[in-house]
Amino acid sequence: MKKTLGERIAEKRKAKGLKQDELAEMLGVSAQAVSKWENDVSCPDIMTLPLLAEKLGCTVDELLTGKEEQKDAVLVPEGERKDFERLVLRIIVNGSDGERVRVNLPLPLIKVFIESGISVGSMGGEKLNGLNIDWNAIVCMIEQGVVGKLVEVDDGGDHVEIVVE
């Protein structure tokens, strides 16, 4: 049976070792408000959701839907794989200088870039381009059924992730 929003909040709060009043203080709300959320009497204000998710160590989407974000790369068995044509490569760059780059590219487009000699890394800015990622190897892994977070690099304060969904 699918958990309610309140059940997910309570579960994640307890997993963090927090009491209701401690979470409430972090969010600037009353302990009664947290109790009402967890008992599905009311819901958090939409403006509170991002901070709530951050404090609980999850995404807003995970809180609302219960679907956890895939964090690590996994090999999907052949019969369960999504069609390659429908997969998306997500490039996330958080620069130490505050630069934020988000690029979502359909995998067929990545193959076109590689075949025509266009640098896929240039889509993520100079920080990503400087990592010298073997995009052919990335595509080969994906074709073999590997999805999830394929690359995570912390380089001089910059953080780069490459995820396939």
Give Cα 73 to chain centroid, integer Å.
Answer: 12
Instruction: Report the candidate in 71, 82, 143 with the shortest Cα–Cα distance to residue 110.
Output: 143
Residues 79 and 160 in one domain: yes
**C-alpha 28, offset from chain centre:** 26
pTM score over 0.75: no
For 128-153, what is each residue's pLDDT tens digit?
666 677 888 888 899 999 988 888 88
* CA atoms lying within 13 Å on the CB side of residue 123: 19
Is residue 4 pLDDT above 90, yes or no? yes
Tell me: do 59 and 130 sit in the same domain. no
Query: What's the confidence (pLDDT) of residue 44?
Result: 95
Which residues span the domain enclosing 82?
A: 74-164
Q: What is the average pLDDT across 88-105?
A: 83
17-49, pLDDT tens digit by residue? 999 999 999 999 999 999 999 999 999 999 999
Q: What average pLDDT is seen over the chain?
A: 86
How many distinct structural domains can be found in the chain? 2
Confidence of residue 127 (pLDDT cuts 50, 70, 90): low
The mean per-residue pLDDT over the stretch 57-69 comes to 82
The pLDDT of residue 32 is 97
**Residue % of the chain over a pLDDT of 70:** 90
Regarding whether 100 and 29 lie in a shared domain, the answer is no
Within this chain, do residues 57 and 86 fall inside the same structural domain, yes or no? Answer: no
Please report the sign of the dihedral spanned by the C-alpha atoms of residue 51, residue 45, residue 36, residue 69: negative
pLDDT at position 131 is 67
